[in-house]
Structure 1
Amino acid sequence: MRGALRALKLKTPIRKQTTSKRRFLRKSVASVMLLNMLCFSLVPAMAMAETNQAAGAASTKPAAAQAATTSIPSVQSLGLQVKSAVLIEPVSGQVLLNVNGDEALPPASMTKMMTEYIVADLVKKGKFKWDDVVTVGKNASETIGSRIFLAEGDQHTIKELYIAMAVGSANDATVALAEHVAGSEQAFVKMMNDEAKRMGMKTAHFANSTGLDIADMPKEFRTPGNQETVMSAMDAAILAKYIVTDHPDFTQFTTIQNYKFRKRDTKPMVNWNWMLEANKNVTNFKQYAYPGLDGLKTGHTKNAGNCFTGTAVRNGTRLISVVMGAKTEGARFVESRKVLDYGFNNFEVKQIVPPKTTVTGAENVTVKKAKNTSIPVVTDQAVSFVVPKGVDTTKIQTKVALAEEGSLTAPLKQGTKVGTVTYSFKAPGLEQTLEKTVNLITAQDAEKAGWFKLLMRAIGDFFRDLFNGIKNLF
């Protein structure tokens, strides 16, 4: 009996050892199998990763190639044959091309754009009507150059004379309008120069309403001194911007291809703007016709050479071009085509921020005595930039300026300005950093809290300040 028990005790450790060895063997086999499975599963995964990486590398090449194709050509590559040239987008005012654009030069009949603006503005404000009758004076009747041969005492409506000025660049019609509006051409010239300052035209000076040299004006009505009319291409573009922005109906005059001023006239006057899109069907002008072009004004004198301020619309985007000092009438349109093509082919208007946008870090403002002292804030308008086509516009920088803490008190209506935000973007291919500042406004009303709520808030603030004061003692 004792021997049997002793034998059983001896066998028990052996069984435990054997069991442990079997478990260890099983775990080892399982580990090896698991390791093999993992290794074999990683092989195709790694192969796929390498394939995807190779595909990714291959896909980056076309992207880089595409970026290269969207790069902006140099202005020098256009080979412009002019003294100066400018291209702008009128809504943003962005300058897309500038070749000697700040030099003051004689603008010839592009001067009439200011006369057109002032007359149209006075009609718009109700001070004159298009069907008001103008009696032609001596100054207009003796004016030379491009004209419709008005005689002193002739009577025509403002609209008739305006069309003659816009379409046929008639100097006598222009002077007649200037004298009717201001009483004399010299008084009108003062209005022109005042407007130039208001518009921010830095070089412009007007000596008359037409753009004629002072020596070519009737002697009795010549401007004193020898300060001739001058205007840079940039100033001409600014003036055109005001025309298309403040008077978007300008095309009712500038797109007229020909106009018979009097019934007895044997031939109608023909628009000096050969680039009008409608001229694509006119034999003599179809080589110059430009898609979307609907204005604006030509100019020519011996001193000025051939000038043209043009404007065209494509896909909802309007551009304004100015060329000055071209050698021939046709050349000014050929050069304008180069400038406009440069803009439409390489740039696009892109909305950077939609209206009513919340700015990160300036989501709310504190309004004293309001029911809800934290009022949400949004931008008051959209922000758009003219950028190179295909450029990434996600890296926009913002600079916020909010009203000082504690300066806002209820009640405030929704839409109240409480600050500004400036968006800036440096586009590749452009020298200038694009910037636009918009207002930050309240997104809802800030109603004034009742007296009881204000009392409870004041008591709470008192005890909060008291507690903080005590806490700071320790």
Structure 2
Amino acid sequence: MEASTGTILYEKDPDTPRPPASVTKIMTMLLIFDALEEGKIHLDDTVPVSEHAASMGGSQVFLEVGETQSVDTMLKCISVASANDACVCMAEYICGSEEEFVRQMNQRAKELGMNHTTFINCNGLDADGHETSARDIALMSKELITKYPQIHDYCTIWMENITHTTRKGTSEFGLTNTNKLIRQYEYATGLKTGSTGLAKFCVSATAKKNDIELIAVILGADNSKTRFQDAVTLLNYGFASCQIYKDYSPPKLGKIKIIGGVKENIPCKYKTTFQYLDTNGQNLSAITKHLELKKELHAPIQKGDSVGNLIYKLNGEEIGRIQILAAVSSDKASFWDCLKKLLSFYFHVA
């Protein structure tokens, strides 16, 4: 998948539900970043460790009951070392219980169109009915890396130590990245590995080259080496077969005349930056732009109202468009507004 547009470049059996192992943690981290953005939690918050969290098996950082770690450190433990115990700590910290956190994971999945996904826990340990698909993993990976690109600050750490402070004293614990592509593939930027008896070996691998960001998902590989080899094969194919056009300098927009409004004219703006993904080797320098913008509007106008489009064509065919929006609102002028305007004009002329 190309990350910015969500275009699928290659797929094989993308919708069969399978156990995803620790690739599950992509959704866990997405909810953590959602909570950070909403101000519910902060990176320097201290997160306690419960008995339930400390009891997690599998990959862990051996957090002890009563110990605390910052949200920032917990994110490192989850992203780098795939720590099951840290996932449960964060789930309980954000939602009060892992059960409520998992409910929100499933709700977020539904919102993203992940139609073949059911989460039973927040860390990916094998559980009946805990499953997702390659396409669904790509969708949540896209959401995480495009909405919260700071995730790469965590998932590209190769090795780092954390400090355990417990009743027994203070000790250092080394985190080592489970994603070997960070060292083995020059364009690698993340994202998450996973392996269990049921899931076998899985990875959602992200990489960036020349402004193109790709996501390659492998599920059910027989061994760790194969999942990474297959991911690299997909990424190399993607980089070789696509190019992206992003218009960072669209035509400048003037003001639009308002009839019967408090304001005589209003500024407008583009809704977004236009981008186009080509997989056919076309000459993207031949792309043309055509501005369709209303010359005048009748009040009232609300900020965000559509007032036109910038249309992009290649070889005479439209390849996309972006909306032009009113940058401010303008109420309809009242009798008194008109009178004040008339008096102002009269005295100015006089």
TM-score relative to the length of structure 2: 0.79
Structure 1 residue 200 displacement after superposition: 2.1
Q: Does 1:253 align with 2:154?
A: yes
Secondary structure (helix, strand or coil) at the match of 1:386 reads strand
User: Retained in 1: the 8 A contact 2:102–2:121?
Assistant: yes
TM-score relative to the length of structure 1: 0.60
Structure 1 residue 329 displacement after superposition: 0.6
Relative to structure 1, the CA distance from residue 446 to residue 134 in structure 2 (aligned partners, 3 Å threshold; closer, same or farther) is closer
Structure 1 residue 121 displacement after superposition: 2.1
Which residue of structure 2 lines up, in the alignment, with residue 321 of structure 1? Answer: 216
Q: Does 1:440 align with 2:293?
A: no
Which residue of structure 2 lines up, in the alignment, with residue 344 of structure 1? Answer: 239
Question: Which of 136, 152, 157 lines up with 1:235 in the alignment?
Answer: 136
User: Retained in 2: the 8 A contact 1:106–1:229?
Assistant: yes
Which residue of structure 1 lines up, in the alignment, with residue 180 of structure 2? Answer: 274
Secondary structure (helix, strand or coil) at the match of 1:298 reads strand
User: Retained in 1: the 8 A contact 2:106–2:118?
Assistant: yes
- Quote the Cα distance in structure 2 between the aligned partners of 1:177 and 1:414: 39
Which residue of structure 2 lines up, in the alignment, with residue 95 of structure 1? Answer: 8
Question: Which of 394, 404, 418 lines up with 2:307 in the alignment?
Answer: 418
Please say which of residues 296-305 and 264-273 is displaced more in the overlay. Answer: 264-273
Which residue of structure 1 lines up, in the alignment, with residue 20 of structure 2? Answer: 107
User: Retained in 2: the 8 A contact 1:397–1:425?
Assistant: no
Structure 1 residue 168 displacement after superposition: 0.8
- Quote the Cα distance in structure 1 between the aligned partners of 2:83 and 2:96: 19
Q: Deviations over 1:60-98 (max 9, x none)?
A: xxxxxxxxxxxxxxxxxxxxxxxxxxxx12212212112
One-letter identity of the residue aligned with 2:222: K
Structure 1 residue 355 displacement after superposition: 2.9
- Quote the Cα distance in structure 1 between the aligned partners of 2:78 and 2:302: 48
- Quote the Cα distance in structure 2 between the aligned partners of 1:414 and 1:356: 21
User: Retained in 2: the 8 A contact 1:299–1:308?
Assistant: yes
Which residue of structure 1 lines up, in the alignment, with residue 250 of structure 2? Answer: 355
Which structure is higher in helix share? 1
Structure 1 residue 299 displacement after superposition: 0.7
- Quote the Cα distance in structure 2 between the aligned partners of 1:350 and 1:321: 21
Secondary structure (helix, strand or coil) at the match of 1:188 reads helix
Relative to structure 1, the CA distance from residue 109 to residue 367 in structure 2 (aligned partners, 3 Å threshold; closer, same or farther) is same
Specify every segment of 5 or more residues in structure 1 that has no aligned partner in the other structure, as ranges.
1-87, 215-225, 280-288, 359-363, 427-432, 453-474
Question: Which of 48, 51, 66 lines up with 1:138 in the alignment?
Answer: 51
Structure 1 residue 391 displacement after superposition: 1.0
One-letter identity of the residue aligned with 1:439: Q
Specify every segment of 5 or more residues in structure 2 that has no aligned partner in the other structure, as ranges.
165-169, 340-350
Question: Which of 184, 187, 193 lines up with 2:106 in the alignment?
Answer: 193
Structure 1 residue 114 displacement after superposition: 0.9
Q: Deviations over 1:322-374 (max 9, x none)?
A: 1111111111110000000001112110247963489xxxxx99965489x99
Structure 1 residue 131 displacement after superposition: 2.1
Q: Considering only CA atoms, is the larger Rg found in Structure 1 or Structure 2? A: 1
- Quote the Cα distance in structure 2 between the aligned partners of 1:376 and 1:157: 45
One-letter identity of the residue aligned with 1:345: A
One-letter identity of the residue aligned with 2:57: I
Question: Which of 184, 204, 228 lines up with 1:333 in the alignment?
Answer: 228
- Quote the Cα distance in structure 1 between the aligned partners of 2:269 and 2:118: 42
Secondary structure (helix, strand or coil) at the match of 2:282 reads coil
Which residue of structure 2 lines up, in the alignment, with residue 165 of structure 1? Answer: 78
Relative to structure 1, the CA distance from residue 441 to residue 133 in structure 2 (aligned partners, 3 Å threshold; closer, same or farther) is closer
Aligned pairs, number? 331
- Aligned-pair RMSD on alpha carbons? 4.0
Relative to structure 1, the CA distance from residue 122 to residue 212 in structure 2 (aligned partners, 3 Å threshold; closer, same or farther) is same
User: Retained in 2: the 8 A contact 1:385–1:434?
Assistant: no
- Quote the Cα distance in structure 2 between the aligned partners of 1:437 and 1:211: 40
User: Retained in 1: the 8 A contact 2:88–2:98?
Assistant: yes
Secondary structure (helix, strand or coil) at the match of 1:96 reads coil
